[in-house]
Chain A
Amino acid sequence: MSPLAAQYAEAFAENCQLDPGSWFEEDTPDEQLVLLDNLVVAQDVVEQMLLNGETCWHHLGWWPDVLKVFQNWAQAGALVKVRLIAQWMLSEMPESIPDLDTPDALQKLSEGHFCGVLPAISSAWPAEPEFYLSRLQWPMFEISEFAEMDQAADVRTALVKKWRPVA
C-alpha cells in the first residue's frame, strides 16, 4: 500500500468516528477534540491520489469519494479534467471491483456525459451560456432560451427541470 493509500485509509477511518452532535455539548469528549485537532479529510486525500495517478479500488469508501471529487471539479468547470481522469481510471480498473456501477459511470464521464452520474453539476451556474454550449456534448438549450432567462437562479431551475427526465 502506498503512503497516500495508507493515509486515505486512516483518514477515512477517523472521519467515520467524528460525532458532530458532541461538538455542541458542554462536555465534548477528548477523543473528538483530538480527532478535530488532527483532521484530514478523506476526500482531499482521494483528490491528491487521483492527481498522483494512484487508486484504492477495493476500499469501500474510495469510489463514493472519487465521485465527490469529480463533482467538485465539474462544478468548478474542470470538465476536461474529469473526462481525462475517468479515461485513465477505466484503463487502470481491475476486473473485480466492489461497485458494479463503476465501469458504466466512468464510461459516461470519459465520454463527457455528466448528467446522471453527477446530478448536481446543474448547480455550476452562473457560468456564461457559451460555457455550457461549448463544453456539453448534447444540445441543452438554444441560445434563444438563454436569452429569456435573466437571473442565474432562473437558469439553474430550468437546467434542473430539463435534466430531471434524463437522470
Chain B
Amino acid sequence: MSTSEINRLLGLLDDWVQALEESRLSEACREEGRDFFRFMQARGVNAALMAKLIIDTTGYNPAQLWRVEDAEMLRDAIFRYAGSVVVTQVEERHGIQNTAERNVRHFWS
C-alpha cells in the first residue's frame, strides 16, 4: 500500500462531494453520518468520543449537523465522515488493523 492510493481515493471522494447537488447534501450527510457511526462502533470506537470530536470541530452535535442549512459545512462533514471510513477500509485491506480511532481523530480535529 502507498499513501498515493489513499490520496487518490480521497480525491475521488472530494470530487463526489463537490458534485453533490445542494438539495442532496442534507440527506447525504445523514446517510454518511449513520454509516460512519455504525462502521466505527463495529471497530470499538466509542460513540461519545466521536460525538465530542464532531461537536468540537463543527459546533454541532451529530443529530444537528445533517440538519444545518449550510452547504459548505455539510460538504465538509460528508467528506470527514466518509474519508475516515475509506482510509480505515484501505488500511484493513492491507492488513493494518486498529487504526479506526486514529482515523476518526485525524478527520475530526
Residues on A facing B (Cβ under 8 Å): 11, 15, 18, 20-24, 28, 32-33, 36-37, 39, 41-44, 68, 75, 119-120, 122-123, 151-154, 156-157, 160-161
Can you sample 12 A-B contacts with CB below 8 Å? A18-B47, A18-B48, A36-B61, A39-B52, A41-B48, A43-B48, A68-B101, A75-B102, A119-B98, A120-B99, A151-B3, A160-B97
B51 at the interface (CB under 8 A from A): yes
Interface bits B1-40 vs A (CB < 8 Å: 1, else 0): 1110010000000000000000000000011011001100
Residues on B facing A (Cβ under 8 Å): 1-3, 6, 30-31, 33-34, 37-38, 41, 46-52, 55, 61-63, 66, 91, 94-99, 101-102
Chain B, interface SS category: helix
Find out whether the CB atom of B1 lies under 8 angstroms from the CB atom of A153. yes
Interchain CA distance A36-B56 in the complex, whole Å: 12
Interchain CA distance A21-B101 in the complex, whole Å: 19
Tell whether A123 pairs with B96 under 8 Å between CB atoms, given A20-B62, A24-B34, A36-B62.
Answer: yes
Tell whether A153 pairs with B46 under 8 Å between CB atoms, given A20-B62, A120-B99, A123-B99.
Answer: no
Find out whether the CB atom of B3 lies under 8 angstroms from the CB atom of A153. yes
Find out whether the CB atom of A23 lies under 8 angstroms from the CB atom of B33. yes
Tell whether A20 pairs with B41 under 8 Å between CB atoms, given A15-B48, A153-B3, A160-B95.
Answer: yes
> Which of B66, B96, B98 is A157 in contact with, Cβ under 8 Å?
B96
Question: Which residues of B have CB within 8 Å of A44?
Answer: 52
